[in-house]
Structure formats: structure tokens, C-alpha cells
Structure 1
Amino acid sequence: MAETPTEEPYPLHKCVFNGDFKELSYLIKTHDIAEKDKQGNTPLHLAVMLGRKECIHVLLGHGAPIKVKNLAGWSPLAEAISFGDRETISLLVTILKFQVREQMEARRPKLIEALRDMGNFYMELKWDFQSWLPLVSRILPSDICKIHKCGASIRMDTTVVDFNDTRWERGDISFIFNGYKKPSKSLTVLDNKAKVYQRVRYEETEEEIEDEVDVLMSSDIMAVQMSTKGISFSRAQTGWIFREDKTEMVGPFHADFYQINGMVLESRKRREHLSEEDLQKNKAIMESLTKGSFQGFANGGPPLRRPSLNPPPEPHVTWEEYLSAEPGQCPTLGRTPAYKESTKAFKATVAMSPDFPLTVNMLLDVLEVIATFKHFSKLRRFVLMKLPPGFPVKIDIPILPTVTAKITFQEFVFRNDIQPELFQVPSDYVEDPMRGYGAYLTMMMVLHTASCV
């Protein structure tokens, strides 16, 4: 009896590798468009690395995911930035935003229901930023975030607007989420000093997309993540001679303290697509965005867009050679990477309380709303880990390679007297997207896209 022939592995990948977009269009109907090969690459990864434009359009037209990373930790967008074709980068950014919006809207009804069911409350989180660099540690800020929750609405008041390794921006900012309103009006940011507000739009204009592409093409491709592979928890000990498990009161909450073992912050940076001139331009762009005005214009005319790079040479790699490469040893298919890697181990603790009125799942729902703030996004990723029993009332987490944050849930109370006016724009505030917090929101759009890189 004749054996049934075995189908070749990764048929979509092979079509892309060979630039056969017609066969790809045929096979895509019956094969997994998000399948990863031994290198963790999806067909879209390969299409971008190799500059197969027809294949890119076919794959994106059938919903190929962009927010997915290969074994090296890079997404198709990261590889597109490295390749340097502006049209491809702009297309990926636009469709990535569409895919993220679709995911958010699919999740939205359950999130609104979860918020509505958890009860109204007031909560305070204290952030203490610290650094192992002595001079930096002296000047880092602290902040008390005040969070009100009523029905499906959340308001957060904060004074630390943004920060990096050596600088931070103070302000008096309120972030308001009204779950009952349609998406285009559900997120509002108040600048309480300037008395202005801005609606956070779900869709950007073509010009805003192109501004973002300019920044991405002029920036390092960054991948910073907290590795959770080797993390474990052990009870923290106290006492010199007679050792015992450490327990303390954190505010009004009794808590058991745990050591977090194996916490490592991994940072990687690629810049094979950049020249020294690009780096200087990028610095100027980022500074102008922070000041709330994009300086990409000449004499009041249209913006000077960054052009596409010359494509890298076609790789001298056959499909068989690519297929036989060991995992993690992918042959160079695009531009030769120029990158730096660094890892830093952190000593950290977490205090878990059985007495805290909120559950971890409830906290995750709240953090999902305010994850636009990058330090809250990192807090949410930490809480997603499998923590010891209880609620994390005090946590140490790395925020940047040189900065850690100690977060303390110092107050929480369920309240039925929270006023609806808290979730409305005051009548004397003026809508002005180009002042106050507007520049920060623009930066958050870029950083959110970059975080998918």
C-alpha cells in the first residue's frame, strides 16, 4: 500500500520565501496564517524581512497578526523598521492600530460589566521611584495616585506625567474613563493647571500616522521586558538569631512578605537602520513632541518626511538552508542587525495581604483601563504573574533599566457617596489638544506602537 505523501512544513512560509504570492493567495484559505516556524517567524515576519510587498498585502488582507514576536523577540513591525520601506511601515502601523482597536472593543463589554459589578471605591497608590545610580536616586520623584471608581467610570489623579532614566515631567493630570460612553468619547485627560482637556481618540489622522512613522524610522528599535521565566517566590525572613517569616502591617492591611527571586530586566536595542544624522534628528523630534509641537516642518510648509532606505541586498540563503537552521540561529534575511543587549537582575519583595477588599482580578480590570500610563502598564504585567496567595499591597518592580518603583496600596475603601461630577469635564475647562497633556498623549501613541515592536 502506497504511503500518503506528507505535506511540506510551513507551506505559507515557503510561498513567501519564494515570492509566490499567487500560490500564497490560494493556500492561505486552508492554512494557519499565524503559524510560527522553528525561528518563531510567522509568514508576515518573513514577508517583511525579505521585502515581499505583494505577499505582505495578501497576508494583511487576510488578517495576519502584527502584535506577535519571534524567538528573537521581534515583531513584523520591528523587522519592517529595520528593512526601512516607509510604505510598509505605515501600512503595518495603520493595521496594527486597527487590530488593537478590534481587540479592545471585543474586550470592552466584559470589562464594563466587571467594573460595574465590583462596587464603588476610593483607592490610593503611592509610587516611590528609586535607582541604583546614587545621583539619580536623589532626584527621582514620588507620587500618590488617587483613583475613584463609580459604576463603569474611573478617575485617576496623578502628578507624575512622564519620565525616563534621567528626567521626569510633573503636572496635575486627571485621567477619566466613562465606560457608558461610546469609544470616541470614553477617555478624557484633564490638565488641571492649564484647565484644558483632550479626548483620547481611537483613530488617528493620516498625518498623525505619518508623524508616528517618522519617529519610528528615526528611533532605536527597542525591546524591554521583565523576564518571568525564572521567577520564584520565597518567604522573606526577619531576625538575626531566631529567624521567622516576615509579616507587617501595610497601612491597615496585615501582609506576608515574599522575596522575588530571579527577576531580570532584559533590554535590547537595534539601530542598523540609523545613521548618526538620524540619531540627532530623532533627538530633536522627541524633544519637540515633549514640548507639544512637532518640528518636522520647513517654513510652515508640509512636513519633511523621512524617506525609505535603500533595501538590503537579497539574501544568499535557500529555503532549505533557512528551514534546516537551528532554532534561535536564524540566517540573516534582511539588514544585518546592529544591536546591544543588557540584562539586570533585581532584588525585590512583594507583600501579600489576605485582608485587602479588592481581588487581583478586580485590580487587573482597573489597570486595564489606565494602562496608557506606561508605569501602570508595567504594574499590570507584573500582577499577571502567578503571585503568592492574597493581594499585592506592596510591590517592587523595575520600570527602566536604572529605575525601580515601590508601589504601596496605602488606602482602599468601598464608598457609595462618590459624586458623578468627578467623571465630568469642569465647565470652565477648554478643549485644546495641542497644549498640556496633548503632547504626552501623542507620545503615548508612539510608545504604544513601539511596545508592540
Structure 2
Amino acid sequence: MALTADEVAQRYPIHWLVWNNQHEELKKLLEANKYSTEDLEAKDPRGRTPLLLAVTLGHTDAVRALLDAGADVNCEKDGWTAVQEATATGDQELLSLVLSRRDYQRHVLRAGGIPDLLRRLSLAPDFYVEMKWEFTSWVPLVSRMCPFDTYKVYKRGGNVRVDTTLVGFENNRWQRGDRTYIFKGQGRSASLVELDHAAGTAWREALESEARPPPPRLVAARLAAPLAINYLDTDKICFERNKSGIWGWRQDKCESVNGYECKVFSANNVELVSKTRSEHLPRGRRPAPPRAPLAGLLALADAEPGVQPPEQEEPSTPQSSRSREDLSSVPVSWGDYFSGEQLDRDIGRPKLIETKVQKFKATLWLCEDYPLELQEQIMPILDLMAAISSPHFVKLKDFVQMQLPAGFPVKIEIPLFHVLNARITFGNIFATESPVPHIECIEEGDRLSCVIDDACFNIGSGYRDAAAPDDRLTCTDDEESLLQYAIQQSLMEAGTSDDQVDVWEALRGARPSPPPPALFAQHDPQLQRAIEASLASLALSPGSPPAPVGDEQGEGEGEAEGDADAELREALLLSAREHAARDRQLEAEQRALDEALRLSLLEK
């Protein structure tokens, strides 16, 4: 039933002002506290809050008034957040406004959630456990590139420490490192530090007291990249007990994992849905990422035959670039929008959405008498690691949050992509299998526990502060974007660490590189002479005699150094030949890998 203008203004007063872009009147009413928090977050018949409606329509002044009144930026519709809707408008000012307030509200929300997280950690018994990650693939030769890693998790009171060497997936290669994350609870507050042992740096969390506008390069990067969301659709999921034995004598399958008897289950009908939007990109300027062999395979392998076409096609009229002008006229009338009836199209710019669905099957090994509790002890750790560590933790967390059968998942195997599986195994609980420094295992009858020394959570000396204000602005989104790209194509979301005041994302910024060795060469005369000799030998033709080094030295000393220089030149030439041979071998392996990947795609 259609509503009159008075009825709409009475039922949805803030939405009505936003729809008509009456931002001055809206600002006065909000400053006079005419509306409650419930009114500010009320949803219209289409499921939008006043802020999300203002962002979708591109009404920047109305958005500013609502944000000043404390409207929640973390709102969404159909999975698309206010930040993503602001990006889709193509308006830099609007995106910068929403981004800065989103980052500020994230910090306030995390700071407010710290007491609850500390309470959950403090109530849970102390423990030490190792999580072994193994990556496997059925594609020929790809399995050779699949890494493995063991996360060592220490938990004592409100303190958590996680050691890892697998940083993430970047440029189609797995990145190694030597990192430690330390979360320390202090009263009702907490500190978070990331130690890079190789670079000797320490990243510390800093909570900003006010929202600051994001750097222009971050806004430009978002506007130049597609929008993407990934989520697990678990509506049809079902768990089935695996069977073993031959036909007629089959029974429930059980296996021993690290000394614990486990029941084996399979999770079927789990779907990973990936959506991409690109209506904000100028025509003909959508980035096409390089088709590296592994990236191409990962991008193509998850394409289902029934990929849905874009929901709305672009206007056929030619245009060099798209701007906010196409947002000024909204073909949907207020009567149609607030009626709640089905619409032929949505408000704002016509959406260009590509949807892909990846179906996969997971395997679980569940133990009912494992000495750890999933919800009390492991889930708080997964919450931390999903935010501050490698993005594959996000998938593990999402999967574990489903309604699993009874028991602790001692071992989990979940696909990351169509061709890549991740197998996570919990082991060395309480350091019972192999000793660990600062961990003492205590056995009281049938009950196991451990005592963790405070030294595990000390930062130690020799680490320099690596917090550079600008360098920490482009990581988390980039890492998530790389994961999405490996799943389907080059995408950016970008929470990615590109976000200025997000504590978890700020920890993953670029780190300063160590000083080049050449700065120290002058302090070592022998090394300096060796470098000069190698440069001189390269400048000579094969038949030319080597130039003397150190003409002012004595004749005997010169002969001795001449012999040393000859040996040095010979060593350099041998090293160059070995390097060239290694390059040729790598090129041959790469060609073989390209051919194998191409054949595997054809066979599939």
C-alpha cells in the first residue's frame, strides 16, 4: 500500500529529510536532540539506516550531520558496508568522511570490548598449544610450493603470545618471516605488540583520541579498485560421520591424532560466496592484474559454470569517465521506495555486481576428551589472530564458529581455494610431546595443566620502534585483497590495513628496511679492497691484465695482495657462473610449472 508524504515523514522522519537532502533542517534537529539513538539507527522498508541511505544517495552534507550526531558507520545492507557504498559513489570527499569516522568508531568499539576480552581470557585456564598448518594441492608441481608452519600459542591470565613464521600470501608467493604477537592485559586496558625478529623492530598499538582524515593515497586507491565481499553461506551445511571398512561391514571411522582418539566427520554443502562491484570505476580503466601462472589458476579454478551476470548493465551512452552527476537524478520515487514493494532497480548508481559461488567439503577430527575448550580457550585466540595475523585465520575462525558436532576439533581440513587445502592440527598441548622454554607441564592425576613464565611475554632489548605514521596505512586491506584475488581476481577491500587508525591493521604496515651493507664497507679496509678489485676485474676485458690495487704499498705486500686478488677474482667468476646456472634452472622449472598448470586446467 502506497504511503502519503505525511505518513512517510511521520514513520521515517530522518529518512525523509535525508531523501529530500534537507541537511540544514536535519542538522538543527539533531543538534537539538530531537531524535533518540533508536531513531538514528532505525531502518526503512529497504533495510537502510538514515546514514546508509544518505551515503547511497551521495548526500554528503546529510552524511556529515548524521556522523556528527553519532550515527553508526558500521551499518550494511546485503553485505555492503557504508564505506563500500561511499566508494561506489566515486566521491572522494564522501569516502574520506566516512572512512575517518569508521576508523574512529572501530577504535572506540575495540577499546570498549577489551574488558570483555580480558575477562574471557582471565577466566579460561592457562595453556600452551601448537597449531600446525599444512597446505596441500592436487595440482602437479603446485604442491611443491605449498608451505607449512606451526603457530605456538602461549596463554597466561590476560596475556597471549603467538609465534609464527608464515606471514601471508603475496605476489603469488608465500611470505616467510619470524614474528611474535604479544597481547598483554593490564587492568581494564591492553597493549598489543608485534615483534619482527629478523628486522629487529617492534610495532605497538596506539589508540587515537579523535578521528583523522585518511591520507589521499588511501582514498584514491579505494576509488581505483573494485569492491569485494566474501562470506560463508552455511544455510545448507550438514555434518556426516565418515565410514570405514568394506561394503556390508562399514562402521563409524575413528583415527588417532597426536595420541587422542578422534571421530571423523565431513561437512558438506558449505559455500563461499564472492561478490564484486565495479560501477565506480571509469569505463575502460578497470585494472587487469598480471596473469601469473599460480594466480591465473587460482582465479580461474573457482569460476563456476553458473556465474551470475551483472545485476545491472552500464548505460550504453558513451562517456569518458563516470562522476557524481549520474547520482543526482534518482529514478526511484519516494513513494515506490518507502512502499516496500519490489522494485525494478535500486537507488543510487546502477550496480555492476558479479557473483561467484565456490562449493567445498571440509573434514573434521573431533575428540570429546581433549584437555582444551574450544569456545573458552581457543576462540579468543582465533579472534586475535584473525585480526592481526595471516588472513587464512579468518577462514578458520568462520568455519569453527559454525555449529560443529560435539568434541574439540583436534584436526581440521578446509579448502582455501579450489586447488589449495589447509590442514590445521593441534598438538604438543601443555608441551607434553616436546619441551618448550619457560613452559612447565604439571600432571595431577588425569588432569594436565602447565605453568608459563612471565618471560614469555617480555619484549626484551634490542628492538627499535617501527611505528611510522604513514607506513602503516596500506596493509590490512592489501592482505585481504590478495586473498580475495587468489580466490577470484584482483580485488581490494580494504580493510586492509590501509586504514589509519585501525589498531589491528596498523600492525601490518611496511617496515623500514635495514641499512644497506655498503654503509659499513668503509669500516672494513679488506672488504673495501675486495669490492674495488671485483669492480676493476669486471671493467677489464678477458685478456687484459688486472689493474693493481694499492699502488702505494710495498713490493712484497703488493705481490701477496696480487695473489689474494687473483683468488678473489676467480671466486667471483665462479660465483657468477653458479648464479647464472641457478637462474637457468629456475627458468626451466618455471616453464615446466607453467606447462603443468596449463595442462591441469585443460584436463579439468
Q: Same fold (TM over 0.5)?
A: yes
Task: Tell me: CA distance 1:345–1:326, structure 2 relative to 1, closer, same or farther (3 Å).
Answer: farther
**1:186 aligns to what SS in structure 2?**
strand
Higher relative contact order (CA 8 A, sep 6+): 1
Q: Distance in 1 between matches of 2:421 and 2:74?
A: 27
Q: Which residue number in structure 2 is paired with residue 384 of structure 1? A: 401
Call closer, same or farther: CA 1:106–1:220 in 2, change over 3 Å. same
- Residues 185-206 of structure 1: CA distance to partner in whole angstroms, max 9, x if unpaired? 7111111112222113344995
Residue 238 of structure 2 corresponds to: 232
Matching residue within 196, 200, 203 for 1:195: 200
Tell me the alpha carbon deviations over residues 260-317 of structure 1, each in whole angstroms, 9 at most, x when there is no partner.
121001111112222455637999xxxxxxxxxxxxxxxxxxxxxxx99444342222
- 1:401 Cα deviation from its structure 2 partner: 6.4
Alpha-carbon separation, structure 1, partners of 2:479 and 2:104: 16
Structure 1 position 336 matched with structure 2 position 370: no
* Displacement after TM superposition at 1:248 (Å): 1.4
Structure-2 residue corresponding to 1:116 = 122
Change beyond 3 A, Cα 1:256–1:35:
farther
1:54-453 aligned at under 5 Å gives the runs: 54-71=61-78, 73-131=79-137, 134-163=140-169, 166-180=172-186, 186-203=191-208, 206=212, 209-241=215-247, 242-275=249-282, 277=285, 279=287, 309-313=323-327, 314-324=329-339, 326=341, 331-362=345-376, 363-372=378-387, 373=389, 374-400=391-417, 403-413=420-430, 416-433=450-467, 442-444=474-476, 450-451=494-495
- Bigger radius of gyration among the two: 2
TM-score scaled by length of structure 1: 0.82
Deviation, 1:160, is 1.2
Amino acid at match of 1:323: F
**Cα offset, 1:368, TM superposition:** 2.0
Is the contact made by 1:164 and 1:400 (CA closer than 8 Å) also made in structure 2?
no
Report the CA distance between 1:161 and its aligned residue: 0.6
- Aligned partner of 1:15 in structure 2 is 17
The aligned amino acid for 2:48 is N
Q: Does the aligned pair in 1 maintain the 2:364–2:411 contact within 8 Å?
A: yes
CA offset at residue 70 of structure 1?
Answer: 0.9
Paired with 2:146 and 2:468, the residues of 1 have a C-alpha distance of 27
Q: Deviations over 1:4-51 (max 9, x none)?
A: x97755443233222233564546437532233343322222111111
- TM-score (normalizing by structure 2): 0.63
Structure 1 counterpart SS, 2:475:
helix
Amino acid at match of 1:117: L
Equivalent residue, structure 2, for 1:290: none
Q: CA RMSD in A?
A: 3.3
Give the counterpart letter for 1:320 in structure 2. Answer: G
Deviation of 1:175 after TM superposition, in Å, equals 0.9
User: Which whole-Å deviations, capped at 9, do the CAs of 1:201-228 have from their partners, x for residues lacking one?
Assistant: 3449957644432332222211011112
Shift of 1:446: 6.1
2:582 counterpart residue number: none
Matched, 1:37 2:44: yes
* Conservation of the 8 A alpha-carbon contact between 2:100 and 2:214: no
Asked if the contact 1:86–1:308 (Cα under 8 Å) also holds between the matched residues in 2, the reply is no
SS state at 1:358 partner: coil
Seen in structure 2, the aligned counterparts of structure 1 residues 118 and 51 have a Cα distance that, compared at 3 Å, is same
- In structure 1, distance between residues paired with 2:195 and 2:37: 49
The structure whose residues are more often helix, as a share, is 2
Q: Measure, in 2, the Cα distance between the counterparts of 1:89 and 1:138.
A: 43
Indicate if the aligned counterparts of 1:136 and 1:166 stay in contact, CA closer than 8 A: no
Q: Where in structure 2 are there 5+ consecutive unaligned residues? A: 1-5, 292-320, 431-447, 481-492, 500-604
Distance 1:119 1:210, change over 3 A: farther
Q: Which structure features the higher share of strand residues?
A: 1
SS of 1:332's equivalent in the other structure is coil
SS at match of 1:407: strand
CA distance in 1 between counterparts of 2:93 and 2:367 reads 51
Residues 145, 158 of structure 1: 8 Å contact kept: yes
Alignment gaps of 5+ in structure 1: 284-306
> What secondary structure sits across from 1:450 in the alignment?
coil
CA deviation profile, 1:98-148 (whole Å, cap 9, x unmatched): 222222222211211221222221111111224565554442221111111
